[in-house]
């Protein structure tokens, strides 16, 4: 069993380490976090590994995971270079390094001065590590980098019942952008929706209760039917008057917010109005595919184009 060091023992790092430990995929060697408390919390969550807050105290390991924010990966790889060199001189071969950024290629680790580099991006939200322990199986992991490292990582993720695909460095940015739009911005859209409900005088708990069934069903419809058949609502029906009233109401809300007379000052009304128009414009080609008439599309386009 290969040994693994985790540099950055946050939500992603501790989740993967815990699953690999539970499934006897890697022997967890060291866990680094700048916070001593966080390092020990990760150790307790995983159930294995030496928790350290001084990177120089990490033990030698055959595989290293850099589970740090994207903007810190290159800097951290450079900081590891002396340790990598010492380990290579004593072991006779360089350790393998990989990160989990969806947007950055494996080559961002080049400053570590080992040629065994890869990236492995799980298409999964690690918002709650406890949930991820059971929810990660079935997720896809995008692999890119050295064949030698991918030959280790692919079976490691397959052991967690994940699906693996391989990407080229050139594919990564747009691949990750697509993931962000579908996952992260869906969460932003939920927040915007809740703000509209709040402006209507409906509390968050009630709004979440009424939204959950239809939002979950919409997600299921998108994967079962595809976006064209899953799209419903006033745009597809060509309910021009309804869209006009909704647009007018959001603009009025934005104007009252600007004048300081809004009943809900914590609602970002200007953003709500702008996003409704932008999303409406983006939806028109899809709505036309789903049956919207060209005449209704022109009328709706005119409404969304108004400033």
pLDDT of residue 275: 95
Q: Where are the beta strands (DSSP E) in 33-66?
A: 50-52, 63-66
pLDDT in tens, 191-200: 999 999 999 9
Euclidean distance between CA atoms 40 and 6, whole angstroms = 13
pLDDT tens digits, residue range 135-162? 999 999 999 999 999 999 999 999 999 9
Report helix, strand or coil for 283: helix
Q: What share of the chain is helix, strand, coil (3-state, %, to 5)?
A: 60, 15, 25
pLDDT 10s digits, 247-294: 999 999 998 877 766 666 678 999 999 999 999 999 999 999 999 999
Residue 227's SS3 state is helix
> pTM for the whole thing?
0.85
């Amino acid at each position: 069993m290969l040994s693994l060091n985790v540099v950055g023992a946050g939500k992603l790092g501790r989740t993967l380490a815990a699953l690999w430990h539970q499934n006897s995929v890697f022997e967890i060697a060291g866990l680094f976090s700048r916070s001593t408390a966080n390092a020990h919390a990760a150790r307790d969550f995983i159930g294995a590994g030496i928790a350290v807050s001084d990177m120089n105290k990490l033990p030698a390991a055959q595989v290293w995971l850099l589970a740090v924010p994207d903007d810190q990966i290159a800097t951290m790889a450079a900081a590891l270079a002396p340790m990598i060199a010492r380990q290579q001189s004593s072991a006779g071969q360089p350790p393998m390094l990989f990160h989990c950024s969806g947007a950055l290629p494996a080559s961002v680790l080049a400053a570590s001065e080992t040629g065994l580099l890869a990236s492995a991006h799980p298409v999964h939200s690690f918002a709650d590590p406890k949930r991820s322990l059971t929810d990660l199986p079935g997720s896809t992991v995008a692999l890119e980098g050295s064949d030698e490292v991918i030959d280790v990582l692919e079976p490691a993720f397959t052991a967690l019942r994940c699906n693996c695909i391989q990407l080229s460095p050139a594919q990564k940015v747009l691949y990750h952008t697509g993931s962000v739009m579908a996952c992260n911005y869906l969460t932003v859209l939920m927040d915007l929706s809740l703000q509209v409900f709040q402006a209507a005088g409906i509390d968050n708990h009630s709004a979440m209760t009424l939204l959950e069934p239809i939002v979950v069903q919409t997600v299921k419809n998108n994967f079962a039917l595809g976006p064209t058949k899953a799209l419903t609502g006033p745009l597809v029906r060509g309910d021009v008057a309804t869209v006009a009233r909704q647009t007018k109401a959001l603009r009025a809300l934005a104007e009252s917010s600007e004048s300081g007379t809004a009943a809900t000052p914590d609602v970002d009304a200007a953003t709500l109005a702008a996003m409704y128009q932008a999303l409406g414009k983006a939806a028109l080609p899809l709505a036309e595919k789903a049956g919207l008439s060209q005449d209704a599309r022109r009328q709706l386009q005119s409404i969304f184009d108004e400033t």
